[in-house]
């Protein structure tokens, strides 16, 4: 069955969420220090109360199954909700925190649920799902970015402990995390897919050194710097059972986590560009120049139309990808679609936000409007969890895998050969008519 409608019961929940976000949640970003700052008394007074209200409406952690505290709505319903939550801004976005769908905790919780031991689940999964603890994904390295072939951070077994040495760059949410989900090399001589393992490292473990926290240009990330951390691991010792999954299976664990994160970024980006579009349309109806409303200018009308088409195309691709994930229950089977959604959403957000900025003129480039942050976020989405250029290779390889080469010298659609085949197929009719 193919359906473009949302069931009425869930639509009622979405309508409530949209109003709740607009009237209660979005204003928070202007009065609290940071959505993840548990030391901010204003944040601690306001956010848990709103989270409780979300729970009462059955929208907390919508993508999580009942076994880990969620309603198990799946990716399509999460995509519909994320369009609403994505309006609350890039970077330290308050919407996903209030609704229990904030990255990177969603992905980290997913792999702990899938690969973690019962002890690990008890210690980390419930607090992450409840939103009372935050985590960071510590994968990227300064010398090679996200390319696992360049990773040098090592985890070596010494008796009943792993000893970790190396550096990680841009560990998302490292500033606020209590636990670091770390990808490290455990067998440098093994094939690339078997070289690494995934670990859980409490941030207060001796030897974990925060070199600095880094912010993203264009984002306002609260007092004291950015969210993303440059971390040095110096003889960090963790118990042997702090590994996630099996030794040498870190790449597999990472892909489970990253695939979901990529499509979730795309979902939120759709909401972000819809917010930009609303600001754009309001501006053209409100602003006059050279004696005429901006909305009457043909070039402006073209920008409005192009932006709307871009949003709708991207949204349909993202929704179809979410639908496939729900149907197949296998991220790898949908990796081409996930990669395409990530690429399209990043490109679309930059395009729509740039148009909105231009329509707002000098006001658009100031910090009094969010468009520069939106554009930076679009670029960030294109880089996060692997750059778009690498994902294009994934798409191309997947598309070409089952394509057979032409059997002869000429392409199968070579017109002279097709003419000969057609004349042979219909020879009797052609002969009867003297052709």
Give me the domains of the chain, ranges plus CATH numbers. 8-102 (1.10.540), 135-244 (2.40.110.10), 252-400 (1.20.140.10), 405-435 (no CATH)
**Helix (H), strand (E) counts: the chain:** 15, 10
Using the predicted structure, report yes or no on whether residue 78 has a pLDDT greater than 80. yes
Confidence of residue 64 (pLDDT cuts 50, 70, 90): confident
Confidence check: pLDDT of 321 > 50:
yes
> Which of the four pLDDT bands, split at 50, 70 and 90, describes residue 346?
very high
Q: What is the average pLDDT across 170-179?
A: 93
pLDDT tier, 192 (very low <50, low <70, confident <90, very high otherwise): confident
> Which has the closest alpha carbon to 257: 338, 167, 141, 195?
338
Give the model's pLDDT for residue 260.
82
Q: How many CB atoms lie within 10 A of CB 394?
A: 16
pLDDT of 23 over the 50 cut: yes
How far apart are alpha carbons 309 and 235 in whole angstroms? 53
| pLDDT at 282 (0 to 100) | 98
Residue 98 — very low, low, confident or very high, per pLDDT cuts 50/70/90? Answer: very high
Highest mean pLDDT, choosing among 37-51, 92-106, 205-219:
37-51
Distance CA 258, CA 254 (A): 6
As a whole-number percent, the residues of the chain with pLDDT over 70 amount to 97
Q: Which residues contact 46 (CB under 8 A, 6 or more apart)?
A: 28, 31, 32
For residue 223, what pLDDT band results from cuts at 50, 70 and 90? Answer: very low
What's the rounded Cα separation, in Å, for the pair 250 and 240? 15
* The predicted structure's pLDDT at residue 222: 47
Q: How many CA atoms lie within 13 A of 92 on its CB side?
A: 28
Mean pLDDT score, 407-415: 94
**pLDDT surpasses 90 at 21:** yes
The predicted structure's pLDDT at residue 245? 92
In this prediction, residues 247-264 reach a mean pLDDT of 87
The residue with greater pLDDT, 219 or 422, is: 422
Nearest of 38, 256, 269 to residue 137 by alpha carbon: 256
* Residue 261 reports pLDDT greater than 50: yes
Is 221:91 a contact under the CB 8 Å cutoff?
yes
| C-alpha dist (Å) from residue 126 to 49, 69, 100, 183, 423 | 19, 8, 12, 22, 70
Helical spans, DSSP H, in 225-297: 250-286
The pLDDT value recorded for residue 90 is 53
Label residue 269 by pLDDT band (50, 70, 90).
Answer: very high
Torsion angle of C-alpha atoms 279, 347, 251, 156, degrees rounded to 10: -70
- Between strands 228-239 and 161-171, the pairing is antiparallel
Q: Note the pLDDT of residue 91.
A: 55
Could you tell me which residue, 329 or 352, shows the higher pLDDT?
352
Please give the Cα distance from 41 to 51 (Å, whole number): 16
Mean pLDDT value across the chain: 92
Assess whether pLDDT exceeds 80 at residue 217. Answer: no
- CA atoms of 352 and 366, how far apart (whole Å): 17
| Residue 153, phi then psi, degrees to nearest 5 | -60, 125
Q: Lowest-confidence range among 58-72, 207-221, 296-310?
A: 207-221
* pLDDT exceeds cutoff 80 at 1: no
Looking at the predicted structure, is the pLDDT value of residue 195 above 80?
A: yes
Tell me the H-state helices in 294-387. 298-328, 335-359, 361-364, 371-383
Residues β-bridged to residue 208: 233
Q: Helix, strand, or coil here: 33?
A: coil
Buried b (16+ CB within 10 A) or exposed e, 90-103: bbbbbbbbbbbbbb
Check whether 220 has a pLDDT greater than 70.
no
Of residues 193 and 233, more confidently modeled: 233
Closest CA to 90 of 379, 321, 284, 287: 379
Q: pLDDT value at position 176?
A: 94
Provide long-range contacts, Cβ within 8 A and 24+ apart, for 406-409.
Answer: none
For the segment 293-322, the average pLDDT, to the nearest whole number, is 97
| Predicted model pTM | 0.90
């Amino acid at each position: 069955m193919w359906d473009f409608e949302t069931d009425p019961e869930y639509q009622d929940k979405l309508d409530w969420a949209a109003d709740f976000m607009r009237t209660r949640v979005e204003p928070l970003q202007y009065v609290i220090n940071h959505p993840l700052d548990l030391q901010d008394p204003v944040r601690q007074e306001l956010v848990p109360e709103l989270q409780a209200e979300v729970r009462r409406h059955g929208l907390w952690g919508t993508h999580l199954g009942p076994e880990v505290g969620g309603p198990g709505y799946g990716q399509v319903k999460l995509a519909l909700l994320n369009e609403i939550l994505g309006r609350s801004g890039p970077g330290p976005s308050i919407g996903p925190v209030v609704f229990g769908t904030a990255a990177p905790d969603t992905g980290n919780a997913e792999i702990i649920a899938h690969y973690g031991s019962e002890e690990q689940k008890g210690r980390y999964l419930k607090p992450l799902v409840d939103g009372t603890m935050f985590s960071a994904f510590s994968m990227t390295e300064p010398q090679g970015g996200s390319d696992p072939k360049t990773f040098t951070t090592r985890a070596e077994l010494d008796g009943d402990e792993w000893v970790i040495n190396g550096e990680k760059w841009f560990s998302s949410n490292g500033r606020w995390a209590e636990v670091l989900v770390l990808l490290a090399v455990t067998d440098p001589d093994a094939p690339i897919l078997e070289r690494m393992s995934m670990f859980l490292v409490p941030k207060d473990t001796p030897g974990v050194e925060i070199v600095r926290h880094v912010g993203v240009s264009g984002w306002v990330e609260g007092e004291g710097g950015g969210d993303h951390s440059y971390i040095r691991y110096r003889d960090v010792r963790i118990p042997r059972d702090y590994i996630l999954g099996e030794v040498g299976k870190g790449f597999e664990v990472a892909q489970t986590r990253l695939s979901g994160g990529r499509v979730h970024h795309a979902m939120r980006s759709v909401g972000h560009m819809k917010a930009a579009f609303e600001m754009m349309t309001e501006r053209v109806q409100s602003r006059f120049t050279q004696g005429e409303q901006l909305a009457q200018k043909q070039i402006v009308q073209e920008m409005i139309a192009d932006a709307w088409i871009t949003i709708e195309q991207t949204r349909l691709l993202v929704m179809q990808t979410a639908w496939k994930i729900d149907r197949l229950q296998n991220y790898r089977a949908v990796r081409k679609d996930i990669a395409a959604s990530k690429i399209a959403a990043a490109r679309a957000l930059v395009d729509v936000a740039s148009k909105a900025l231009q329509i707002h003129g000098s006001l658009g480039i100031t910090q009094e409007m969010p468009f520069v942050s939106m554009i930076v976020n679009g670029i960030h989405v294109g880089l996060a969890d692997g750059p778009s250029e690498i994902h294009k290779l994934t798409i191309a390889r997947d598309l070409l895998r089952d394509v057979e080469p032409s059997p002869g010298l000429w392409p199968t659609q070579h017109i002279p050969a097709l003419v000969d085949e057609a004349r042979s197929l219909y020879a009797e009719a052609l002969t009867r008519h003297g052709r």
